Structure 1
Amino acid sequence: MSNIETVVDSLENRISKVLHKLEVLKQTNDKLSEELSKSQERLSQQEAEVATWVDKYETLKFANSILGSDESKRETKLKINTLIRDIDHCISQLSE
């Protein structure tokens, strides 16, 4: 009988340890999930900021090319041609 009690006590002890470890792992998982969520939010904010800066850069580059800097005259002509094509397309859609 004593042997069975020892086995049962040992099993209870092991189960208790496993349950404790499970609880610790759940807490760790919750903490990591929260950190991941915060990191993803930060990343999306940074991506939005990068997109804003890229847009500002392109606008500034276009403005500089319109002002007549020598190295970007070709880009200016291409951009103006693109704008003219877009306007022609809009006019043709309006006339239909």
Structure 2
Amino acid sequence: MSGLSEIVDSLEIKLEKLAQKVEKLQKQNQELENEVSRSGSAFNRQSEEIVLLKQQNESLRMANSLLGSDENKRETKLKINSLIREIDYCIAQLSD
């Protein structure tokens, strides 16, 4: 009978160790999930910032081309022509 008692004691010890490992892994899993969530939030913020910076860059390019810098004369002419066409279209719409 003492052999059976030793086996049961051994199983209890192993079960306790296993339960501790499961708890440790659950904590580690939760920490990793939190880190993934933080990384996702940071990624979203950075994506929004990139979009904003691209818009600002385009606005600055547009302003620079409208100011008539030597570097962007062709763009300036194209933009002015485009604006004139839009104005002509609006005038035509108002005339109808």
> Shared fold by TM > 0.5?
yes
TM score, norm. by length of structure 1: 0.77
Shift in CA distance, 64/23, structure 1 to aligned 2, threshold 3 Å: same
1:29-53 alpha-carbon deviations (Å, 9 max, x no partner)? 1111112111211111111012111
2:74 corresponding residue in structure 1:
74
Residue of structure 2 in register with 1:30 after alignment: 30
- The residue aligned with 1:12 is 12
Would the aligned equivalents of 2:65 and 2:73 in 1 still touch at CA under 8 Å? yes
Q: Following the alignment from structure 1 to structure 2, what is the Cα–Cα distance between the partners of residues 24 and 83?
A: 66
**Distance change in 2, residues 1:81/1:41 (3 Å):** farther
Deviation string 1:12-39 (CA, Å, 9 cap, x unpaired) is 1111111111011101111111121112
**Residue 75 of structure 1: CA displacement?**
2.5
Amino acid at match of 1:72: N
Q: How many residues align?
A: 90
Please give the secondary structure, in 1, of the residue aligned with 2:13. Answer: helix
Counterpart residue identity of residue 52, structure 1: L
Identity of aligned residues (%): 44
Alignment of 1:41-52 (within 5 A): 41-52=41-52
Which stretches in structure 2 are left out of the alignment for 5+ residues?
none
The letter for the 1-side match of 2:37 is S
Say if 1:18 and 1:77 are closer, same or farther in 2 by CA, change over 3 A: farther
Q: State how far apart, in whole Å, the 2-side matches of 1:83 and 1:18 are.
A: 74
| Structure 1 segment 50-89 matched on structure 2, within 5 A | 50-80=50-80, 87=86
